[in-house]
Amino acid sequence: MIDGEWHTDAEQLSKSERGEFQRDQTSFRDWIRGTRRGPDDVVEDGPEPEAGRYHLYVSYACPWAHRVLLTRALKGLEDAIDVSVVDPVRVDQGWEFDAEKPGTTPDKLFGSDYLREVYARADPDYTGRVTVPVLYDTAEDAIVNNESAEIMRMLDTAFDDYAENDVDLYPEGYREEVDDLIERIYDPINNGVYKAGFAGTQDAYEDAVTDLFDALTEWDATLGTQRFLAGDRLTEADLAMFTTLYRFDEVYHTHFKCNHREITDYDHLWGYLRDLCNLPGVEATCDMHHVKEHYYRSHTDLNPKGIVPIGPDPDFFAPHTRDDLPGDLPDALRTP
């Protein structure tokens, strides 16, 4: 979008001279009061946390939006913060609402046809990409933030008065490490799959895929002796890792050519993924049909015929034995 006008040619992905995919910065970066932005940094101004005031725009397909949906589910914030779900297939008009498709909703706030209308309402001169997730403030009629790590942090730390579950994913004693982990896995893993998939040259692809599998191998070894990324506590970093692992075998392995191994081939990453899938509330955030429809049918340059592969269909919700490892879950997330 440029100066509030939609341009389909703005769909071109940013690339460096070497053909490396470069993700654009997001532009709405406000914070809700009470958010713990860093270990020693609690936000003292900004809009108040309130139930019913904020709204999320998401796609079940999107790994960044999925972090936010997971935080909302694990905290039990479903009644406090409602969501609108876009059509998973994103073509030349950008994210669209089509409530006829299973798992989607209309734009519950404004009845828009396209998500770009919500961006234009918040900023009539908006220039930038129209992305999910979006956190919208209905009291101010404004977008608060469209950066997933920051929305995840707001839901995790500013809404405890409205959360059904006593779950803290940014716990004292772990905060610096959680910030470091989220940062550390972003480049090689979360964004690494995109760098491989959208690489414009063989070199850029090989660099990305090598860094990706080096990082996965390293984490597989670490997760052999500890249940979660930060050790014995489930944290936001696990949610950030989860959304990439969940999409890996079904999409990134084939569509983005990350085909050295599948997650099911790893001794520990596969059990770790099933451990997280089996947490209460997580399954309701997972819609593999939306995930596959999105990637295989939206990126027409990578998959011109839009054919969606039928496999490999791993059993994400099968039991695991990771509760034998050091580390425990908050009481609210323990299943009998």
Decide if 80 contacts 51 (C-beta within 8 A). Answer: yes
Q: Any catalytic annotation for residue 286?
A: no
Which one, 62 or 230, has the nearer CB to ligand GSH?
62
**Closest distance of CB 255 from ligand GSH, Å:** 13
| Annotated active-site residue in 54, 57, 60, 62 | 62
Q: How far is CA 43 from CA 1, 72, 152, 171, 303, in A?
A: 30, 20, 15, 17, 44
Which one, 70 or 130, has the nearer CB to ligand GSH?
130
Decide if 57 contacts 86 (C-beta within 8 A). Answer: yes
Q: Any catalytic annotation for residue 62?
A: yes
Which one, 35 or 148, has the nearer CB to ligand GSH?
148
275's CB contacts (< 8 A; 6+ apart) are 227, 320, 322, 323
Which one, 54 or 270, has the nearer CB to ligand GSH?
54
**Closest distance of CB 203 from ligand GSH, Å:** 24
d(CA 258, CA 185): 16
Name the token pair of 206.
């090989």
Tokens 């101010």 identify what position? 140
Going by the DSSP 8-state scheme, the letter that residue 30 receives in this structure is -
**Closest distance of CB 73 from ligand GSH, Å:** 18
**Closest distance of CB 146 from ligand GSH, Å:** 6
Q: Which residues bind ligand GSH (CB under 6 A)?
A: 26, 62, 64, 129-133, 146-148
Which one, 67 or 233, has the nearer CB to ligand GSH?
67
Cis? peptide before 88, omega within 30° of 0:
no
Going by the DSSP 8-state scheme, the letter that residue 187 receives in this structure is I
**Closest distance of CB 183 from ligand GSH, Å:** 13
- In the annotated binding site, the residues are 95, 129-132, 147-148
**Distance in angstroms between the alpha carbons of the first and the last residue of the chain:** 49
- β-pairing, 82-85 with 54-58? parallel
- In the annotated binding site for glutathione, the residues are 95, 129-132, 147-148
Which sequence positions are flagged as catalytic? Answer: 62, 194
